């Protein structure tokens, strides 16, 4: 406040701005800024006044084009599951007694928990909080989980009318698929942020047939999760198939009479210093017959029968 009773507002390192309280004075200042400065547009008049005066007039505030923008808020949780985003989604048609999916995603790691619900009420939600959140992580709580819902819809088998069925059986697989998928925000999988190590996947153990068709560059997050769900849902069948393949591989193939085979050079296995230049297999020989004990009688290609039988594990088929 100056000695002549004029009020100014500090304006950082710029000139102080005059506070005009009298409505008539405000009107006069507006007319001066507009009429005597070449009838400039709204923005030009505003820029002239905002450097010198504090408040805008009532009419300008009603007609201003600028929208109030909410500043971005950055969540900074300190520990896992300190803050959780909860969402309940309706699934149609119902799967058994279930009609809803409740999801909870940790704000720090992105780890997801989900369960099917028969009813959307406080009792069901309280049970979910207790079993899936508090008992496992000891924390509670507030984002959309439509990505999970769309992934389940795309992964579930369809009925003839196009509706999904048994979607509640895919929730646990969908949650795991979400956990092992790299986040575009953090650059890590939620599983890694939660445990500090990457998960051990079926493909890390064996090379089986659980490679699902459809993986390609440029697919959406929902499509990626759906493919991962299908991949993981095939896991038990693929393990059984892989076990059968391994069993068949360990059981020596039966060679038919007349087939050509190679015989392992067992002399090299018996010596201390193995001869690098010597052949590992001898032959080829022709199969005569298979003995009762599983060994084979062989003969030279000129018809000379070898007196001693050869164990099946020492034979390899000869490719002509």
Contact 105, 112 (CB under 8 A): yes
Query: Which pLDDT does position 3 carry in this prediction?
Result: 53
Same domain, 157 and 54: no
Same domain, 226 and 168: yes
Same domain, 113 and 231: yes
Same domain, 16 and 134: no
Global confidence as pTM: 0.35
Query: Which pLDDT does position 289 carry in this prediction?
Result: 92
Domains identified in the chain, total number: 3
Contact 311, 248 (CB under 8 A): no
Same domain, 93 and 185: yes
Same domain, 169 and 266: no
Structure tokens at 84: 């959780």
What residues are paired with 297 via a beta bridge?
289
In a domain, 142, yes or no: yes
In a domain, 75, yes or no: no
The span from the CA of 66 to the CA of 139, in Å, is 41
Domain that holds residue 306: 260-317
Residue 82 host element (H or E): none
In a domain, 153, yes or no: yes
Measured CA to CA in angstroms, residue 110 lies from 103, 113, 211 at distances of 12, 10, 26
In a domain, 30, yes or no: yes
In a domain, 144, yes or no: yes
Same domain, 45 and 148: no
Tokens 């408040």 belong to residue:
55
Query: Which pLDDT does position 303 carry in this prediction?
Result: 86
Sequential DSSP letters for 87-111: EEEEEEEEETTEEEEEEEEETTT--
H-helix segments, the chain: 23-35, 42-50, 58-63, 122-128, 135-137, 146-155, 171-179, 190-195, 202-205, 221-233, 235-250, 266-270
Contact 125, 102 (CB under 8 A): yes
* CATH at 103: 3.30.420.10
Q: List per-residue pLDDT tens for the chain, 320 residues long.
A: 555 666 666 666 666 666 776 777 777 777 766 666 555 666 666 666 665 555 555 555 555 555 656 566 666 666 777 788 888 888 888 888 889 989 888 888 888 888 889 999 888 888 888 788 777 776 544 444 555 566 666 666 676 666 777 777 777 777 777 777 777 767 778 777 777 767 766 555 444 444 455 666 677 777 777 776 666 665 566 566 666 665 665 555 678 899 888 888 776 665 555 556 667 788 889 999 988 888 899 998 888 888 889 888 888 888 76
Same domain, 139 and 107: yes
In a domain, 148, yes or no: yes
Cβ atoms within 10 Å of 263's Cβ, excluding its own: 19
What residues are paired with 305 via a beta bridge?
299
Query: Which pLDDT does position 141 carry in this prediction?
Result: 45
Contact 297, 291 (CB under 8 A): yes
Structure tokens at 149: 């819902």
């Amino acid at each position: 406040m100056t000695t002549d009773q004029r009020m100014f507002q500090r304006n950082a390192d710029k000139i102080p701005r005059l506070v005009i309280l009298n409505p008539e004075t405000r009107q006069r200042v507006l007319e001066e800024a507009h009429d005597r400065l070449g009838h400039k547009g709204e923005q030009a008049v505003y820029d002239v006044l905002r450097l010198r005066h504090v408040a805008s007039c009532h009419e300008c505030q009603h007609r201003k084009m600028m929208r109030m923008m909410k500043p971005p808020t950055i969540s900074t949780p300190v520990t896992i599951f300190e803050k959780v985003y909860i969402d309940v989604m309706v699934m149609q048609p119902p799967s058994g007694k279930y009609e809803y999916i409740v999801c909870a995603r940790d704000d720090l790691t992105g780890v997801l928990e989900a369960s099917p619900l028969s009813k959307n009420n406080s009792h069901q939600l309280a049970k979910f909080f207790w079993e899936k959140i508090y008992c496992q992580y000891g924390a509670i709580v507030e984002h959309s989980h439509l990505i999970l819902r769309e992934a389940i819809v795309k992964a579930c088998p369809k009925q003839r009318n196009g509706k999904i069925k048994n979607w509640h059986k895919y929730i646990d697989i969908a949650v795991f698929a979400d956990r092992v998928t790299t986040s575009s925000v953090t650059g890590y999988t939620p599983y890694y942020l939660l445990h500090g190590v990457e998960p051990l996947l079926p493909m890390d153990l064996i090379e089986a047939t659980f490679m699902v068709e459809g993986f390609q560059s440029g697919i959406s997050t929902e499509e990626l999760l759906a493919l991962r769900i299908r991949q993981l849902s095939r896991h038990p069948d693929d393990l059984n198939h892989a076990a059968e393949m391994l069993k068949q591989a360990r059981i020596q193939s039966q060679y038919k009479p007349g087939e050509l085979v190679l015989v392992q050079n067992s002399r090299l296995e018996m010596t201390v210093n193995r001869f690098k230049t010597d052949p590992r297999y001898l032959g080829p020989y022709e199969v005569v017959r298979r003995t009762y004990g599983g060994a084979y009688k062989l003969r030279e290609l000129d018809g000379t029968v070898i007196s001693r039988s050869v164990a099946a594990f020492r034979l390899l088929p000869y490719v002509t």
